[in-house]
């Protein structure tokens, strides 16, 4: 079976470990969000977090994430110092038996959405991205220099008309959604700070940015491998350029370049069906087939998307992504590894974002990281997995 896991943000998470035990998860995906980006994660703090998790009967299987400092992404400033700190963190995690490290290389900001409370027919809510709303935000709230060069003349005009019709409350809601920080960190930004972050990338082309990523991977992979850690880079969310910033983990070609850069199983991917799946041009079943041998971590959620760069998160069985087909591919890969890799213990998988349902409406959860919504998704993932495995064994 897969390693069924659950993302837990630590002691400040409104969902506690006792509740996670009852969801059916056996492992926890966690991180030391209290450590400033770029600093070494102290061995003792890793030990303390592991002990806390294990006292509940769970296991700490995956770190999500060890953040990558902006200087590393731009290969400027103190990037060498921060790279060495990253290596030491990997070594400290490996000594404590944490075997998978998820990370991302998204510039300036993390995930982007324009609405966090899209309502479904059954009354549940989830997040979504509207390209026109994002353009309006970029052009008229953020007021990024030369933002109009990122859009067609028609989109600029439509965004202007849209923005003119928004109430002050709707403008504020759009701004707050955009400025939401990294999950678990409590970090948030002002529009001015976002512009400052973007400014640091103005002369960086995609080819340069990809080169910076590959250099980083080449430096950390040998350390991860010697520490017994499987790296798993997370795709861009959404997987296309935003705000004039470069992207490096958005397509099948991107993923193949990354895994070919260092031919080691330690240099792998987080296959997030929601992030890769947001792009209409990404064929998720094909990507799973081609990348399976280097997928080290699975994020499972579904989306409905279109060719105009709009998407919304959807029930696991109702979206545009063939979740069952992807799970079948990865189950076959899991079985292959079990037969060929000594000591292999299973592929970690977690339900990614969950809709807000039932008692979730009474709690102040970080968007997407609900209790009941994710528990529903985990149950559906486990059910599909059991059914697929039974069919393969017949």
140 backbone dihedrals φ, ψ, rounded to 5°: -120, -15
Asked about 156 being catalytic, the answer comes back as no
Say how far residue 366 (Cα) sits from the centre of its chain.
14
Q: How far is CA 222 from CA 62, 76, 82, 151, in A?
A: 19, 22, 17, 41
Side-chain half-sphere of 141: how many Cα atoms within 13 Å?
27
Asked about 353 being catalytic, the answer comes back as yes
Side-chain half-sphere of 10: how many Cα atoms within 13 Å?
17
Contact in structure between 267 and 221 (CB atoms under 8 Å):
yes
Say how far residue 327 (Cα) sits from the centre of its chain.
18
Side-chain half-sphere of 287: how many Cα atoms within 13 Å?
28
Residue in the structure block whose two tokens are 């400014």: 199
Q: Please state, in angstroms and rounded to a whole number, the distance separating the CA atoms of residues 198 and 192.
A: 10
Where b means 16+ CB within 10 Å and e means fewer, 8-19 reads bbeeebebebee
* Catalytic, out of 69, 71, 353, 360: 353
Tokens of 113: 């959405």
- Tell me which residue of 26, 46, 7, 16 sits closest to 345, measured CA to CA: 26
DSSP-assigned beta bridge partners for residue 314: 302
How is the beta sheet containing 125-129 ordered, strand by strand?
Answer: 115-119, 125-129, 311-314, 302-305
* Catalytic, out of 234, 315, 360, 366: 234
* Catalytic, out of 352, 360, 366, 372: 352
* Catalytic, out of 299, 360, 366, 372: 299
Asked about 27 being catalytic, the answer comes back as no
23 backbone dihedrals φ, ψ, rounded to 5°: -75, -15
Q: Please state, in angstroms and rounded to a whole number, the distance separating the CA atoms of residues 321 and 278.
A: 9
Say how far residue 174 (Cα) sits from the centre of its chain.
21
Asked about 69 being catalytic, the answer comes back as no
Asked about 234 being catalytic, the answer comes back as yes
- Following DSSP, what letter does each residue of 152-211 receive, concatenated? -HHHHHHHHHHHHH--HHHHHHHHHHHH---TTT-----HHHHHHHHHTTTT--HHHHHH
Which residues are the active-site residues? Answer: 234, 272, 299, 352-353, 369
């Amino acid at each position: 079976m897969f390693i069924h896991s659950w993302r837990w943000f630590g002691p400040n998470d409104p969902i506690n470990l006792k509740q996670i035990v009852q969801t059916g998860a056996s492992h926890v995906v966690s991180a030391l969000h209290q450590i400033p980006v770029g600093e070494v994660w102290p061995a003792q703090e890793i030990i303390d977090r592991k002990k806390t998790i294990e006292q509940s009967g769970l296991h700490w299987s995956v770190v999500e994430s060890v953040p990558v400092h902006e200087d590393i992404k731009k290969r400027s400033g103190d990037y060498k110092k921060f790279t060495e700190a990253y290596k030491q963190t990997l070594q400290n995690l490996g000594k404590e038996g944490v075997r998978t490290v998820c990370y991302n290389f998204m510039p300036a900001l993390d995930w982007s959405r324009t609405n966090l409370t899209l309502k479904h027919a059954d009354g549940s809510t989830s997040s979504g991205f509207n390209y026109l709303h994002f353009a309006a935000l970029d052009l008229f709230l953020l007021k990024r220099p030369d933002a109009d060069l990122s859009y067609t003349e028609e989109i600029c005009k439509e965004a202007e008309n849209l923005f003119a019709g928004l109430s002050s409350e709707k403008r504020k809601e759009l701004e707050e959604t955009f400025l939401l920080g990294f999950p678990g960190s409590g970090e948030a930004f002002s529009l001015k700070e976002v512009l400052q972050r973007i400014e640091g990338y103005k002369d960086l082309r995609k080819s340069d940015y990809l080169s910076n990523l590959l250099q980083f991977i080449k430096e950390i992979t040998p350390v991860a491998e010697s520490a017994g850690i499987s790296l798993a880079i997370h795709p861009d969310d959404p997987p296309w350029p935003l705000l004039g910033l470069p992207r490096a983990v958005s397509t099948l070609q991107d993923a193949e370049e990354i895994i070919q850069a260092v031919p080691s199983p330690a240099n792998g991917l987080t296959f997030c069906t929601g992030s890769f799946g947001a792009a209409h041009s990404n064929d998720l079943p094909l990507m799973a087939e081609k990348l399976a041998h280097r997928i080290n971590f699975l994020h499972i959620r579904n989306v409905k998307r279109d060719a105009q760069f709009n998407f919304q998160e959807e029930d696991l069985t109702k979206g545009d992504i063939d979740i069952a087909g992807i799970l079948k591919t990865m189950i076959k890969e899991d079985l292959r590894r079990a037969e060929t890799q000594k000591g292999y213990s299973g592929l970690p998988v977690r339900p990614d974002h969950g809709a807000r349902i039932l008692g979730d409406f009474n709690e102040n959860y970080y968007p997407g990281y609900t209790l009941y919504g994710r528990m529903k998704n985990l149950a559906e993932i486990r059910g599909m997995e059991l059914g697929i495995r039974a069919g393969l064994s017949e």
